[in-house]
Amino acid sequence: MSSTISSSKSSITSKPISRRGFNKSLLAMALMVAGCDRSPLASSGQSGSLAADQDQLSADQIKALTQLPTIPAGDFAVTDFGAKGDGVTDCTASIAAAIEACANQGGGRVVVAGGTFKTGPIHLRSNIELHVDSDAELSFVTDPKAYLPMVFTRWEGMELLNYSPLIYAMDATNVAVTGGGVLNGNADNDTWWPWKGPHKEQHWNTVAGEAQQPARNKLFEQAEQGVAVDQRRFGEGSYLRPPMVQFYQCRQVLVEDITIKDSPFWLVHPVLSEDVTVRGVTFISHGPNSDGCDPESCNRVVIENCKFDTGDDCIAIKSGRNNDGRRINVPSRNILVQDCLMLAGHGGVVIGSEISGGINNLHVRRCEMSSPDLERAIRIKTNAARGGLIENLNYSDINIGTVKDVIVVNYYYEEGPDGDWMPQVRNVRISNINVKNAQRVFVLRGFPDNQLSGLSLHSVNVANADSLGVVENVQSINLHNVMVNNQSLDLKALLGS
C-alpha cells in the first residue's frame, strides 16, 4: 500500500421556527410585489426556535418522533378539472383548480392518474397530498417564464426572490407528494442545465450570455452586504435554476414512493421545516448540481429506503451560506438516514458546504454505497467563510463497494481559509464500515491554526485501497479496530502523537 501522509488534525407538539434577524414586513411586501400572496410567517402565529427543541435524540427516537402528515379523506382527480394525460395539453391551470377545490374542502388528495400530464409549477397548500399514480407522470415544461411570478426561496443557502420551484409549498402543514409515478423535470443538455455555464465537468450545451455566474456573484455580494431580501430580485435573465421540489417553512411533510428525474437543480429541498419524511423515493438526475435530497435548517428528518443516482451529492445536509446562514442562524438537527442505496454522486452522505447555521445530531445507518462514479462516501465540506458548529454525527453499518474516497473532512472547500469563521467539527463517530475498493481512505484537511479533531473510528475495514490518502493538520483521531489492506492502522503513530 502506498500512502501519502502529511501532518503538522410517537408524536409530539411541533415547535415553531425562528427566523432571527429577518424583517417580516419587508418580506411580506417583497412577496406581494413579486406576485406571491403568502408570507412564510403569515399563518404561523408562533415563536421560538428549532435550536430550543429536544435534547439529543437517538436514531430510533428520531424515527419515532418525526410526525407524518395527516391528510383528510377525499380525492380530487385532476382530470375532473380539465387535465388531460396526453402529454400535450397544458394542465397547469387544471391542477391548480384541483388544489384550490381540495383546499376549500379542508384538504385531501389531488390525484394524477392515467397518462403524462404536462404542467408548469405546482403550489401545494396545507392538508393536501399530491398523489401521482404509478401509471402517471408529471412532465414539467421547460419554459422559464412559466415559473414566474417569482417566489421567496433559498438558493445555495441564500434567501432571494427567484423562479418558482417546480413543486413548491410555503408555510404549509400536513403536505405530501406520493405515489408510484414520475416527476420529470425534463432538464437536459439543452434545457436548464446549460445555465450552469462552463465547468470542469461540462457535458451540456452552454449558450453565450446564458449562464448563472454573474447572478450568483451578485447574490453572494448582496447576502454578504446584508441587502434586504426584497431587493434580491432575480428570476428572468439571471439564470439561477430552480429546485425540483421545495418545502419552505413547512411542518409534517412526506415525499414517498415517487421517482424524480432530470431536475433543473437540487431534487428535494426542505428548508426551515420540521417533521420531514422522505422514503421509498428514486432520485435519477445527472445534471449539474443534481443533489438528491438537501434538508436545510430542518429539524426531525427521516430519509429512508431511497435510491440515489445523481450528478452531485446524493444527500447533502445544509444550514445556510456564510452571512445569510449566520443571520438566520437555524441549524439542521435530528436527522436520520437509513436503508438507502447510493450509486453515482459526488458524495453519499454529505455535510455542507452551506453549513453556517451548523448541524447537530445526525444518524446514518444500514446504507449501501457503490459505483465507479461515486466520488466520496462520507464527506464534510466547509471553510472559514462558512464556519458553523458540526457535531454529533454518527455513521454505522455501512457497506461500500467501489468509491474514490471513503472519509473526507475538508476545511478548504471553495473559500478555504479566507474568512473569520473557523469551522468546528466534533464528536464524529464512524463504526462498522466495510469497504471493498477505494482509491483513498482519507482526505482530512484541517487548518494549521484550527486543526481537525473529534473523529472516532470503530471497526472500519477497507479491503483494498490504492493509498491511505491525505491527512494534514489533524490533531487527533481515535482508532479502534481499523484495518486497511489487511493491516491494522494506527494513525496516531503515523502522526507522531
Model pLDDT for residues 450-492, shown as the tens digit of each residue: 999 999 999 999 999 999 999 999 998 999 999 999 999 987 6
ω into 126 cis (within 30 of 0): no
Number of domains in the chain: 1
The residue behind cell 461515486 is 374
Share of the chain above pLDDT 90, in %: 85
Q: What is the pLDDT of residue 56?
A: 86
Strands 122-124 and 108-112: unpaired
Distance CA 381, CA 349 (A): 11
- Catalytic, 203? Answer no
**Residue 199, pLDDT score:** 76
Answer whether residue 251 shows pLDDT above 50: yes
- Specify whether 312 is catalytic: yes
Distance CA 84, CA 90 (A): 8
Q: CA 478, CA 454: separation in Å to the nearest integer?
A: 8
Which pLDDT band, with edges at 50, 70 and 90, does 54 fall under? Answer: low
Any domain includes 4:
no
- pLDDT score for 492: 62
CA–CA dist 315, 313 (Å, integer): 5
pLDDT of 123 reads 98
Domain for residue 412, yes or no?
no
Looking at residue 490, its pLDDT comes to 81
| C-alpha pair distances (Å), 321 with each of 113, 164, 385 | 39, 20, 9
Nine-digit cell string for 309: 443516482
CA 101 – CA 107 distance, rounded (Å): 8
Which of 390, 388, 379 has the alpha carbon at shortest distance from 427? Answer: 390
Q: What is the mean pLDDT of the chain?
A: 89
- Is the confidence at residue 8, as pLDDT, over 80? no
Predicted confidence band of residue 297 (pLDDT cuts 50, 70, 90)? very high
Average pLDDT over residues 424-447: 97
How high is the pLDDT of residue 264? 98
The parent domain of residue 100 ranges over 24-374
485 within domain boundaries: no
Is 265 contained in some domain? yes
Q: Which three cell numbers stand for residue 230?
A: 426584497
- Is residue 419 a part of any domain in this protein? no
As a whole-number percent, the residues of the chain with pLDDT over 70 amount to 88
Q: Which of 171, 312, 313, 405 is catalytic?
A: 312
Residue 206 has pLDDT above 90, yes or no: no
Please check the confidence at residue 449 and state whether its pLDDT lies above 60: yes
Does residue 19 carry a pLDDT above 80?
no
User: Which tens digits make up the pLDDT trace of 22-44?
Assistant: 333 333 433 443 344 333 333 23
CATH number for the domain that contains residue 299 = 2.160.20.10
pLDDT tens-place string over residues 360-377 = 999 999 999 999 999 999
Q: Which of 131, 286, 346, 363 is catalytic?
A: 346
- pLDDT band per the 50, 70, 90 thresholds, residue 200: confident
Look at residue 397 and tell me if it is in a domain: no
User: Picking from 38-47, 59-68, 335-344, which range would have the lowest pLDDT averaged per residue?
Assistant: 38-47
Q: Has residue 203 been placed in a domain?
A: yes
Q: Is 466 contained in some domain?
A: no
Q: What is the CA radius of gyration of the chain?
A: 22
